[in-house]
Amino acid sequence: MKTIVKTLVNPLILLGFGVIFIHACTKSSNTPAYSTSVDYSQASHWLSLPATIYKADVFYLYPTTSWTKNNSTAMICAIDDSLMMAGAASAYARQATAFDTSANVYSPYYRQDNSSPDNRLNVIAGIPTTDATAAFDYYIRHFNQGRPFILAGHSQGANIVCNLLSGYLKANPQVYSRMIAAYVIGGPVTKAFLQANPHLKFAAGPDDTGVIISYNTEAGDFTGVNPVIYGEVGLVINPITWTRDETLATTAQGLGSLFPDKTGVWVKIPQYANARVDTAKGVLVCTSADESKIAIIDSLSGFPKGVYHSFDYPFYYYNIRQNAANRIQKFLGR
Q: For residues 58 and 104, is the Cβ–Cβ distance under 8 A?
A: yes
Structure letter (DSSP) for residue 252 = G
What is the structure's pLDDT at 73?
A: 56
Backbone dihedral angles phi then psi of residue 139, each to the nearest 5 degrees: -60, -45
Contacts of 200 (CB under 8 A, 6+ apart): 165, 166, 193, 194, 212
Distance CA 215, CA 253 (A): 18
Task: For the beta carbon of residue 29, count every other beta carbon within 10 angstroms.
Answer: 5
Is the alpha carbon torsion for 225, 22, 318, 329 positive or negative? positive
In the chain (334 residues long), the average pLDDT of successive 10-residue segments reads 42 33 32 72 98 97 80 77 94 97 98 79 89 98 98 96 97 98 96 97 98 97 88 95 98 96 90 97 96 75 87 98 98 94
Distance CA 171, CA 164 (A): 10
Q: Rounded to the nearest 10 degrees, what angle do helices 127-139 and 156-166 cross at?
A: 60
Task: For the beta carbon of residue 69, count every other beta carbon within 10 angstroms.
Answer: 4
Q: How many structural domains is the chain composed of? A: 1
For residue 85, what are the domain limits?
A: 4-332
Backbone dihedral angles phi then psi of residue 191, each to the nearest 5 degrees: -60, -35
What is the structure's pLDDT at 1?
A: 44
Backbone dihedral angles phi then psi of residue 202, each to the nearest 5 degrees: -90, 150
Predicted TM-score (pTM) of this structure: 0.90
What is the structure's pLDDT at 230?
A: 72
